[in-house]
Structure 1
Amino acid sequence: MSVLFISGIDTDIGKTYATGMIAKVLMQQGINVITQKLVQTGVARDLSSGKMGVADDIITHRQLMGIPLQPCDVDNTTCPYRFEKPASPHLSARLASDILNPDVITSATKSLQADYEVVLLEGAGGLLVPITEKLLTLDYIAQEGYPVILVTSGRLGSINHTLLSLEAITSRGLEVHSIVYNHIHDSAAQTDAEIAAGTIEFLQKYLAQYYPTAHWLSLPVQDNDGFNNIDYILPQNFI
């Protein structure tokens, strides 16, 4: 289990924060871990050189982990495909007159596996986001056989989106490794405290019945700067 794929029930659900925090804890446990981004859209170009910068989510991962950018970040191994348009990867690539080749991503992952014990591969958007005109994210993950960590929250609609995501993962024969309940949206306007509490109760019971081997992770609320020193503990046998 050297590669874990981290996705979410929707965009802006907190995948990047979850990925960085999990990597931080694994690193504190003495595990040689690196994060990777499947593809990043909405990346700015350097005005002087015209080159694409390092993926924003990779930068956030390193900040959360408390380490500088690594050589594999600078040479873009951790995110080979970066596009300017903040859209679905297939559209961003088309607008950039580029073609995303999944084999390039796979090769990058294998290169990271050679140097690290664990690679946390963060997706872009939800599970069924198209990364090419013909390939959905989850179908690529199914080809590679990576276990899936799914990030959810207590926003209204999260139960539906979570169960649909679980069915999509299961239908492709993939392992549901963990569910991460992200408290990042607890104070958001669309999050009601009673609904959030009911969501947690329902999902925990649902997992116990249908996915008894899956881990349940509760990700605490971050500080205003987003980079706190929360003591976060992963379940036993997480890796």
Structure 2
Amino acid sequence: MSVLFVSGIDTDIGKTYATGLLAKALMQQGVNVMTQKLVQTGISKQANGELGIADDILSHRKLMKIPLQPCDLDFTTCPYRYEKPASPHLSAALANQPLDIQMITEATKALQADYGMVLLEGAGGLLVPITTELLTLDYIAEQDYPIVLVTSGRLGSINHTLLSLEAIKSRGLTVHSIIYNHIHDDAEQTDAEITNSTIDFLQAYLAHHYPKAHWLQLPYIEIASTDTISSDCCLSLPKDFI
């Protein structure tokens, strides 16, 4: 289990915060861990006209409280970066820069050679098309990566979570963990009764159908950017997490 794939039930569910803080928690347990981004879209061009380091990688390092690493600077942690904020298959087509999935696989293997664990964050949900021929979950199934699924308490999350779990099961993959992200627990966005009911339902569902899966909770973080996150904010991991 040297690679964990971090996905979410939808876009903007908090995968990046979960990935960065999970990496930080693993570091605190003495794990030599690095994060990787499958593909990043929506990157602004720099002054020289080139696309820089993936935004999510920058966020990971800030959350981990470490500087950018050599593997970030040479883009091993995110080989494919596109300007258009869209599904990877469309962003790649518009940029006329086809994505070679083997290059991502080789990047992951290079990181595995230097780190004890790699957290590979996806783009969007599990069935997002990486190319016109390959869905994200198809690729993860080929690699047989265990999955960390990020969910929340916003209305519709139960349905989206169960659909994601069914998709994972259909590929014969392992649900390693569910991270319940309280990112949407702002009183103006989320009904407390729905949030509490969602937690109760999902915990009971996992206990019955996925008893070996870990249940983690990412506390609500009131932030303007990753720079404002408190240094003591992290995930609490069980001893048998890895």
Do both share a fold (TM > 0.5)? yes
How far apart, in 2, do the equivalents of 1:130 and 1:113 lie? 25
What pairs up with 1:22-41 in 2 under 5 angstroms? 22-41=22-41
Distance in 2 of aligned mates of 1:3 and 1:76: 18
Could you tell me which residue of structure 2 aligns to residue 96 of structure 1? 95
Q: CA deviation at 1:230?
A: 2.0
Taking the TM superposition and a 5 Å limit, the aligned residue runs for 1:90-239 are 90-187=89-186, 189-225=188-224, 226=226, 227-228=229-230, 229-239=232-242
Residues 34-73 of structure 1: CA deviation (Å, up to 9, x unaligned): 00000000011112x2211000000000000000100000
Partner of 1:86: 85
**In 2, Cα distance between the equivalents of 1:147 and 1:73?**
24
Structure 1 match to 2:7: 7
How many equivalent residue pairs? 238
Matches within 5 A, 1:47-58: 47=47, 49-58=48-57
CA deviation string 1:111-134 (max 9, x = no partner) = 000000000000000000000001
Identity %: 71
Contact kept? 2:218, 2:234, Cα under 8 Å: no
Do 1:156 and 1:190's aligned partners in 2 also have CA atoms closer than 8 Å?
A: no
- 1:169 deviation in Å? 0.4
Query: Tell me, what secondary structure is at the counterpart of 1:119?
Result: strand
Shift of 1:232: 3.2
CA RMSD of aligned residues (A): 1.0
Unaligned stretches of 5+ residues in structure 2: none
Which amino acid in 2 is paired with 1:130? P
Change (3 A) 1:188 1:79: farther
SS in 1 for 2:154: coil
**1:154-198 Cα distance to aligned partner (Å, 9 max, x none):** 000000000000000010010000000000110064411000000
Q: Distance in 2 between matches of 1:107 and 1:230?
A: 33
TM-score, normalised to structure 1, is 0.97
- Give the secondary-structure state (helix, strand or coil) at the position aligned to 1:151: strand
| Contact 1:152/1:158, CA 8 A, preserved across alignment | yes
Kept in 1: contact 2:21–2:234 (CA 8 A) = no
Runs of 4 or more, structure 1, over 4 Å off, are none
CA distance in 2 between counterparts of 1:141 and 1:195 reads: 32
> For the Cα contact (< 8 Å) 2:22–2:234, is it kept in 1?
no
* Aligned counterparts of 1:191 and 1:111: Cα–Cα separation in 2: 41
